[in-house]
Amino acid sequence: MANGAHNKAILEPLLRAMQDFEAPQVQSLLQELMAHDAVAHMCLPFNDVTGPTALYETCYQPLLRAMPDLERRDFIMMSSPVSYTHLTLPTSDLV
């Protein structure tokens, strides 16, 4: 399986859980997929967060509290090799 297809397959369960935002499943999959020392560079007002727990509690939990029917809809999924790895980037709306 090509790197791009492999990466997309790894992300698929998380993206599917975010479609209707099943919070416990999203939290569990973030723990499974994201290194605990990984830094996510988020937009303002979130800034940088480290690890899956901080990502969920800082970014997704407040959105879910404000919009209890939160949904994620991907509109572009691209994958491309870069100099040091293979980048897979889903682009989506949270509505």
Residues 2-61: tens digit of each pLDDT: 677 788 888 899 989 999 999 999 999 999 999 999 999 998 889 999 999 999 999 999
Q: Is the pLDDT of residue 1 over 60?
A: no
> pTM for the full model?
0.80
The answer to whether residue 90 sits within a structural domain is: no
Given a cut of 90, whether residue 92 has pLDDT beyond it is no
Instruction: Give me the pLDDT at residue 61, please.
Output: 95
Whether residue 7 is contained in a domain is answered as yes
Residue 88 lies in a domain: no
Domain coverage including residue 50 = 3-70
Confidence of residue 85 (pLDDT cuts 50, 70, 90): low
Q: Is residue 31 part of a domain?
A: yes
Q: How far is residue 75's CA from residue 34's CA, in Å, rounded to a whole number?
A: 23
Q: Which run of H or of E encompasses 89? A: strand 86-94
Listed in sequence order, the DSSP H helices in the chain are: 3-19, 23-33, 51-55, 61-66
Residue type, 15: L
Check residue 37 and give its pLDDT: 97
Cβ atoms of residues 34 and 15 within 8 Å: no
Contact 7, 86 (CB under 8 A): yes
